[in-house]
A and B are shown apart, each in its own frame.
Chain A
């Protein structure tokens, strides 16, 4: 089993966890304000396409990320306006946004890049990797910490930033207050609608990063439905982590771990479909267990009264 469980598994875990991490943070920030962001998948997919398109056209990964983030914000704002201004059911508009993203990226691929299905090109500028020359001769450090993608590091920074924002600032307190009981928040003088818009914009930024990382960092290509449920896995990780950025991160690392172990087991004759299925089955199980424990807690709390 040494070629399944070895040092390189650590980086493999980080690698497959990061796209889900951004998506999970995108869902976390909105859930704190009691908005279930099913549209994470759609935000991510659109920005993944926009990132590849801009990167291909301009040759700059930084501009690509910026434009991708912008497109993420646009998608998030469509959801926000529909939900906050026009009373759309949040799950309905989320599903609608996902379908819109699926269709518009397919259309864009044909219209602007002239292919359908998959687009790869050497002209796509990828997000660079951080090479630390000093680690080259130290086997352990080299294998674990060298050649990380810039966004992979940035993802971990975002966990801390988001945690600080939510739990150590007045703004974060207000967001959580809106999430708990919007009416009370309003009575206390918090502008609930404005806050919800702000939260959605931040979620758009994070979703945009998720997409850009997926198509420029994790891989250097765009394919129809490249996200393949990663947005939903992010939503699940958010549920698993109970909206706390650090626990959410732990959840995504678990998915990443399962995913990388699964793909390594493929060489032991595990059918590829089971490998692909693994993260989803695992997520459902984890979700069920997490909610089971929560409901047990609630029952106990009630009986204590």
Chain B
């Protein structure tokens, strides 16, 4: 996009400061202690192994869904339905994890992830195919399909695959496929290694492989790509499927690592946070990990901010959303700079 490379980091920092300042003023007006709130936020995110572990646990799905959104953006699609892919992937992992028995653990784990990846990718293929075939707006379809996915999984874990315990959840997965906790007593689990591997693979794929080159070309200009002999429609579908697969992996890690079963409505818009973290950095895949870690920290710290500073934790979401609103404005700081440059000139003349 139009923002220059060097400028990017400066802009990002300025945006961050601006949104923190808005949050500061906001809290001040409502009669809270903003400095104390930010301090508690920081403590709640990093100090102590429980807090840091919670940050890491929240980091994994935000990272994967964020990267997923960025990959789709690479081919010029807004995959606003990663939440749905996450739910379906989680359900696929939970079912294969419980109902397949007697396999060696590594193979079983692989099957769980493959199931999640396939389901996620296929679900994302629906809006992609509708887009390339008939030009249906993918944003609308993605969002609507997300609701459908959520209700499908809700039906499955309430009805045919219910654990029968009164709680809407599926039965516990087999012992062998559970990803162990790495920072007890928090819920941080070995899934983070899988996530990091997956993200490294995607970054390699996008920046170092032919497929990635095709993605970038199609994303910049599909007509140009077609002219060069790249089938842009096929590439768009591939990009969306990769994006959906990442959502599926995120769901699988939540089930196999954090919970051990599929719990109805467990995600509570995790994918939204992933989407935010990607949108803030203008879908730059290499910056998404940094931003998703930041957002995960905000999320983890919010709870202790509420407890110790008395500020409702939804203010964190509000500040994050303000951050995104500012970040989407491409020319927010460029215009200010131009003005400064002009006034600078004026000063010289005098």
Contact = CB atoms under 8 A, between A and B. Distances in A.
Interface of A: 36, 38, 78, 82, 86-89, 91-93, 95-97, 99-100, 102-104, 106-107, 110-111, 228-229, 232-233, 235-236, 239, 271, 273-274, 276-277, 280-281, 283-284, 287-288, 291-292, 294-295
A273 B144 contact: no
Given A38-B139, A87-B331, A111-B312, A284 B317 contact: no
A274 B147 contact: no
B325 A100 contact: yes
Nearest to A107: B314
A269 to B, nearest CB: 12
Nearest to A282: B144
Interface of B: 2, 30, 78, 80, 130, 133-137, 139-141, 143-145, 147-148, 151-152, 154-155, 158-159, 269, 272, 275-276, 279, 312, 314-315, 317-318, 320-322, 324-325, 327-332, 335
7 contacts: A87-B2, A96-B279, A107-B315, A111-B30, A280-B144, A281-B148, A288-B141
A37 B67 CA distance: 25
B312 A107 contact: yes
B314 A106 contact: yes
B324 A99 contact: yes
B139 A276 contact: no
Of B135, B137, B144, B159, most A-chain CB atoms within 10 Å: B144
B272 to A, nearest CB: 6
A103 B321 contact: yes
Contacts of A236: 140, 144
B160 to A, nearest CB: 10
CB-CB nearest 9 A-B residue pairs: A103-B317, A86-B329, A100-B321, A273-B155, A107-B314, A88-B328, A106-B314, A277-B151, A110-B312
Contacts of B154: 273
A110 B134 CA distance: 44
A11 to B, nearest CB: 26
B137 A239 contact: yes
A239 B144 CA distance: 14
A291 B130 contact: yes
Contact of A95 (B279, B329, B332): B279
Contact of A92 (B148, B155, B320, B328): B328
Contact of B78 (A91, A239, A284): A91
Of A92, A111, A239, A281, most B-chain CB atoms within 10 Å: A92
Contacts of B335: 86
A287 B141 contact: yes
Contact of B321 (A104, A110, A295): A104
Nearest to A86: B329
B116 to A, nearest CB: 21
Given A92-B328, A110-B314, A276 B151 contact: yes
A104 to B, nearest CB: 5
B148 A284 contact: yes
A110 B151 CA distance: 28
A261 to B, nearest CB: 17
Contacts of B275: 95
Nearest to B30: A111
Contacts of A91: 78, 139
A233 B30 CA distance: 35
B321 to A, nearest CB: 4
A10 B49 CA distance: 59
